[in-house]
Chains A and B, each alone.
Chain A
Amino acid sequence: MADENGNGALQQFKDGVLSDNPVLVQLLGMCPTLAITNSVENALVMGAAASFVVICSNMITSLLRPLIHPHVRILIFTLTIATFVTLADRFLAANMYKVSKQLGAFIPLIIVNCMIICRAEVCAIKSGPLKSFCDACGIGIGFTMALVILGVVREILGNGTLLNYRIMPEAFYGTHEWVIMVLPPGAFLVLGIVIGVSNFIRQDKAGGAA
């Protein structure tokens, strides 16, 4: 976790992607992770939107931090986040209408994504803009990476496609798709397996199951 003065901006970035990965380690932002990872396209767009929001809100929070009274900080965080989520939501609706329809309520729901408010509380409110920026970038990339991993597995097995291109042998289509993978249980199963594998890999580093 980010301590107040210790590690530098670069370390903060690396932690966000790997050892503090919001999805695979902190288990934050589970709602979009489970709901929209049935295709890589959705995962990428959701990851980009959430990254945009976390970067902007972290920057604003960091710049405003001398002015924010501790008692009202959660309110300020939420308003800042909501502003950028609205921006992202309108941008997607205007430019990527189809994807925006597919993601539905999950773009507005970025407002309540605990991963973003966590960064404001843990990092941005205590650190300067550079560190907050790197932190947000790391978290955003880590989030997108985890979503895309889930999306790749679920889309290939569930639909036989990758970014909507058919990549499996022709005999696969019709009756051999793993229907469960595009359904909610598939999200839980793949997420569990991916977290298990990532824990298995990290075991040497962290010493014991994390």
Chain B
Amino acid sequence: MSDTDSASPTSQPPPKSEPPREFLVGSAPHMALGRSTPSVMFDVVLAMVPLLIAAIVLYRGWAVILTITTVAACLLTEAIFNACRKQSQSSLLDGSAIVTGMILAFSLPPKLPLYMAVIGGVVAIGLGKAVFGGLGQNLFNPAMVGRAFLMACFPVAMTTWAQPGDLATVGSVDAVTKATPLAAAKFGSDVVPITKDLFLGNVSGSLGEASALACLIGGIYLLLRGTANWRAPLGMLVAVVLFAGIAHQLAPDRYQGVLFYLNSGALMFGMFFIVTDYVGAPLTPIGRLLFGFGAGILVMIIRLFGGYPEGVMYSVLIMNALTPLIERWTVPEPFGGKVAAA
């Protein structure tokens, strides 16, 4: 098949005649939202500033270096894929790669070797987003794809948690590592911290998830601005509260209380910044509730019965895969009655 087609690789195909212009007529009322992708992304970045501050307080320069590394890796990957596709580099400016990079950085161990963070950023944008066709086309949350890849690649480095405030390099003799609160509660390897520490963030864990308070501030800002829809976080909250409450009632000596599960791990971070992702989540209102609810249930199943201490990443990825199904189930009934099935 190459013989015939390769005859004239240089000559351009004849220009197509211009397609007839279409004038779309829509009925009133016309409402402009006045929001663009960059403004939404800027909002998300702004909402993540409290998390960054908390991370800098806990881990000093490590937080800055890790965040800059992943963001730079994401931007660079985006630029390379744009160049390969001969597309304009405008998608660099819409901020989506910056948001992906920040979410990825906040979900990594604070002292992860930087080249691993670069790999995570490349995979997040490359395999998580660009191969599907760019922003809006991806099936899965790009940052979570990058993190899942790192988790499968480097299981040891990805589960080595630095103690907050300790500035030595992981691997050096005087470095202090500490089990995360969830791992402590699950495997009994360490003392379970009190909820006040969890809330303020004086516990080990991923870069941005330590302080539930910071996540709460950023999340409430997103909800008030309307940047994030409140349904998915609400669904997740209800699911976690119900599940953890019942488990704690049934076996109080085995499972911690509701507040512990709400404040520990990546739950707050995931609730406000990951399940509220526009692309991977369903569009229908009930679908969003279901999406969050399912993610919450899965998180608690993984936390209480699974092999890992934390499960926000996998539960979001699984719910991403279920999104088309949820959307099909929850098509809202339009005003004036049901439309006959096509």
- B231-261 contacts to A (CB < 8 Å): none
Answer whether residue B329 sits at the interface, using C-beta atoms and an 8 A cutoff: no
Whole-angstrom distance between the alpha carbons of A181 and B154 in the complex?
Answer: 11
Task: Determine if A178 and B2 form an interchain contact, defined as CB atoms under 8 angstroms apart.
Answer: no
- B1-18 contacts to A (CB < 8 Å): 1-3, 5-6, 9
- B216-240 contacts to A (CB < 8 Å): none
Residues of A contacting B131 with CB < 8 Å? 192, 196
Answer whether residue B153 sits at the interface, using C-beta atoms and an 8 A cutoff: yes
Task: Determine if A185 and B2 form an interchain contact, defined as CB atoms under 8 angstroms apart.
Answer: no
Q: Count of chain B residues with Cβ under 8 Å from any Cβ of A? A: 17
Whole-angstrom distance between the alpha carbons of A202 and B49 in the complex?
Answer: 45
Size class of the A contact interface (CB-based, 8 Å): 20 to 34
Residues of B contacting A167 with CB < 8 Å? none
Answer whether residue A170 sits at the interface, using C-beta atoms and an 8 A cutoff: no
- A165-210 contacts to B (CB < 8 Å): 175-176, 178-181, 183, 185, 189, 192, 196, 200, 202, 204-207
Known: A189-B127, A200-B84, A204-B9. A179 touches B1 (CB 8 A): no
Task: Determine if B155 and A19 form an interchain contact, defined as CB atoms under 8 angstroms apart.
Answer: no
Answer whether residue A64 sits at the interface, using C-beta atoms and an 8 A cutoff: no
Answer whether residue B152 sits at the interface, using C-beta atoms and an 8 A cutoff: yes
- B291-341 contacts to A (CB < 8 Å): none
Task: Determine if B149 and A180 form an interchain contact, defined as CB atoms under 8 angstroms apart.
Answer: yes
Task: Determine if A206 and B154 form an interchain contact, defined as CB atoms under 8 angstroms apart.
Answer: no
Answer whether residue B79 sits at the interface, using C-beta atoms and an 8 A cutoff: no
Answer whether residue A1 sits at the interface, using C-beta atoms and an 8 A cutoff: yes
Residues of A contacting B113 with CB < 8 Å? 176
Name which residue of chain A comes closest to B119, CB basis.
A178
Answer whether residue B28 sits at the interface, using C-beta atoms and an 8 A cutoff: no
Residues of A contacting B155 with CB < 8 Å? 179
Residues of A contacting B9 with CB < 8 Å? 204-205, 207
Task: Determine if B5 and A207 form an interchain contact, defined as CB atoms under 8 angstroms apart.
Answer: yes
Whole-angstrom distance between the alpha carbons of A19 and B2 in the complex?
Answer: 7
Of the candidates B84, B153, B157, which one forms a contact with A180 in the assembled complex, judged by CB atoms under 8 Å apart?
A: B153
Task: Determine if B154 and A19 form an interchain contact, defined as CB atoms under 8 angstroms apart.
Answer: no
Known: A19-B1, A189-B127. A205 touches B153 (CB 8 A): no
Task: Determine if B127 and A183 form an interchain contact, defined as CB atoms under 8 angstroms apart.
Answer: no
Task: Determine if B84 and A205 form an interchain contact, defined as CB atoms under 8 angstroms apart.
Answer: no
Task: Determine if A206 and B152 form an interchain contact, defined as CB atoms under 8 angstroms apart.
Answer: no
Task: Determine if B153 and A179 form an interchain contact, defined as CB atoms under 8 angstroms apart.
Answer: yes
Answer whether residue B24 sits at the interface, using C-beta atoms and an 8 A cutoff: no
Whole-angstrom distance between the alpha carbons of A110 and B17 in the complex?
Answer: 51
Task: Determine if B156 and A178 form an interchain contact, defined as CB atoms under 8 angstroms apart.
Answer: no
Interface flags, B139-173, vs A, CB<8A=1, else 0: 00000000001001111110000000000000000
Name which residue of chain B comes closest to A204, CB basis.
B9
Residue positions of B touching A, CB distance < 8 A: 1-3, 5-6, 9, 84, 113, 127, 131, 149, 152-157
Residue positions of A touching B, CB distance < 8 A: 1, 7, 19, 175-176, 178-181, 183, 185, 189, 192, 196, 200, 202, 204-207
